[in-house]
Amino acid sequence: MDYTRRSFVKTAGMGSAALITSGPCGMNPGTESDVEILNPYDRVPVSLIIDDSTCLVNMAYFGIPQFAEVFPDQYKQDWRKLPREIPDSFVREFGEWSRENGIKGKYSIVPYPACTGWISRFIPGWTKKELEESLDLVRNLIAPNWDIHPEMVSHTRVIDITTGKPFPFATPAYMENWEWSQTKSTDELASYQAYALEILKEAGLPCEGLTTPGGYGGRNQDNLALSTLQAVRDVYGVEIPHYFRDVITEKGKSVKPQVLFPSGLGSTDPKCVVSILGCTDDWFGNWDGLSAGSADNMITEDLLSGRLVDVIGKGEPAIMVCHWPGIYFNGLKTGFNILKEVVTRLKSKYDNLIWMRLNEISRYWAARELTSMTLSGKKLLIRAPFSVSGFTVRVRFPVRNPWIRFAGEEIRPFNRIKDKKGIRSHDWYPAAKSSILCFDLQKGSGEISLS
C-alpha cells in the first residue's frame, strides 16, 4: 500500500486494544464526584513536537531521493534545490528564541540520518569538529527544554542491526516509514528501537521516549507501545517511557495522552507507557519544501478560531506538530516565523497555559489516570504509583485549613492564596462552594485533611 509519511496517521486510526486504566472511584475529570483531578497548576499544557530534526543533515534533502526510489510517482520534486544542511546557526537562533519565550516540547535527533552517517561517530560531508559542536549545541541549548527522541534509526531504509548496514531493497517492506514494522513482534521492535536509543546514548544525549517515522507501527500499535516500554526502560532506565506516533486534527476528537499497559501499580516498580497525540497538521511549512504553512490554521488573527483554540477550549494538551525542514523551509525560515506568530497570538489570548516537555505531560497523565484517591470522612486518602509536581485537584465542598502528609513525613499546611492564576505547589485556593489544592504528589501513600 502506498502510504505517504506521517499523513498515514490520519487514516490509520488508533487500532489498539491496549489496556487504558482510569483512576479508581470514578474520580477522574468529567465525572460527577466530590473530587476532580485538574490539569497541572490548573493550566492547559502546550507543547511543540519537532520531527525530522538531527545534527546538520537536512532530512528532506537526503530523504526524498530514497523515498522516490520506492514511490517514484509520489516524489517528483527537484530535491537538489533544497539546502543539504540545516546549519547550527539556525539551531542556535531557534534555541535561544524558544528559551527566551519558554517554549518546550520534543526535538528529534535521527541517529543515522537518511543513512548519511552516525551522529555518535561521524557524518561524511562534515568534519568531526562540526559534528561535535552540533551535538554540544543540542546538549546545552536544546535538551534542557526539549525531549530528545530518536526517529527510529535512519528514517529511510531499515537497518540490519546485526551488521549496521541498510538492507539493499528499495521497497516498502524495507523502509522504516512503511511496511517493515507492521508485522514485527514486541521483541523485534524493541531490539530495533534499542539500537536507535543506544546511538543517542553513545552521543551523550538524554532520552525518555521515541518518535515513529511516518507510518511506522500504525497497524501494530500494541506491539509498538510494549516495545517502547521495553526499549526505553532497558536503555535509559526511564520510569515512564512515552512515544509520539499519532496526529488527530478532527474537531471534537480527544487528543488526551493515552496511558497504556499499566502494571505493578502497588509494587516498587510500577510500569506504563504513554502515547502522546499531536493536534495539528504540518501547518508551519511542509517537510518537503513544497508548500508554506499558515498560522491561521492553528489560531486566527482575531484569536477566535483555529485548531489550538478548539483543543485549549476543551482543556486538553495542545501539542503542535511540525517538521524541522518546514521550520527552516528552504532556508527562508518561513515556518519559524509562523511559529513566532502562533506564540504571539497564544500569549495575546490566554493567561492559563503552561509549556511542557512531552515527558512532563506523560508523567502528569500517568499520575492523573493511575492515582487512587478515596474520601474518608474529612480526609482524602491517596495512593500514587508515580510522583509528579503540580498535581492539582478540585474539592467540591468547603474546605478549612487543609494540610497534607505523605508516609514518613511531617504534616505540611497548604498556603492560602487569593488568585488561582498564580497557583503553585502546596497552594490552596478556596471558593464559595469548592477549593483547589495543588501539591507535589509523591509515590506511595498520603493523606490530605480537608477539615
Span 25-54, pLDDT tens digits: 334 433 347 999 999 999 999 999 999 999
User: pLDDT, tens digit, for every residue of 172-199?
Assistant: 999 999 999 999 999 999 999 999 999 9
State the CB neighbour count (10 A cutoff) for residue 18. Answer: 18
Residue 325 and residue 287 in contact, taking contact as beta carbons nearer than 8 Å: yes
State the CB neighbour count (10 A cutoff) for residue 90. Answer: 17
Q: Which residues contact 211 (CB under 8 A, 6 or more apart)?
A: 49, 51, 106, 108, 149, 150, 151, 243, 244, 245
| Residue range 160-172: mean pLDDT, rounded | 97
Instruction: Reply yes or no on whether the pLDDT at 448 is more than 80.
Output: yes
% the chain with pLDDT above 90: 90
Instruction: Reply yes or no on whether the pLDDT at 230 is more than 50.
Output: yes
Q: Sign of dihedral through CA atoms 241, 247, 253, 255?
A: positive
User: pLDDT, tens digit, for every residue of 241-265?
Assistant: 999 999 999 999 999 999 999 999 9
* Beta pairing partners, 271: 263
State the CB neighbour count (10 A cutoff) for residue 11. Answer: 9
Look up residue 15 and give its three cell numbers. Answer: 487500532
Instruction: Reply yes or no on whether the pLDDT at 20 is more than 80.
Output: no
Residue 110 and residue 51 in contact, taking contact as beta carbons nearer than 8 Å: no
Q: What is the pLDDT of residue 143?
A: 98
Q: Give the whole-angstrom CA distance, residue 448 versus residue 404.
A: 4
CA separation, residue 244 to residues 71, 83, 248, 293, 368 (Å): 25, 27, 12, 22, 19
Which residue in 406, 383, 380, 405 sits closest to 393, CA to CA? 380
Q: What is the pLDDT of residue 128?
A: 97
Q: Give the whole-angstrom CA distance, residue 448 versus residue 451.
A: 9
Q: Give the whole-angstrom CA distance, residue 113 versus residue 155.
A: 7
Q: Give the whole-angstrom CA distance, residue 307 versus residue 296.
A: 9
Q: What is the pLDDT of residue 33?
A: 77
Q: Which residues contact 324 (CB under 8 A, 6 or more apart)?
A: 50, 51, 52, 53, 54, 59, 86, 108
Instruction: Reply yes or no on whether the pLDDT at 362 is more than 90.
Output: yes
pTM exceeding the 0.85 threshold for the entire prediction:
yes
Amino acid, single-letter form, for residue 131: L
More confident site: 85 or 11: 85
Write down all domains in the chain, each with its CATH number in brackets: 6-20+44-363 (3.20.20.370), 371-449 (no CATH)
Residue 198 and residue 235 in contact, taking contact as beta carbons nearer than 8 Å: yes
Which residue in 144, 40, 41, 159 sits closest to 100, CA to CA? 144
**Parallel, antiparallel, or unpaired: how do β-strands 165-166 and 159-160 relate?**
antiparallel
Buried b (16+ CB within 10 A) or exposed e, 414-446: beebeebeebebebbbbeeeebbbbbebbbeeb
Residue 85 and residue 113 in contact, taking contact as beta carbons nearer than 8 Å: no
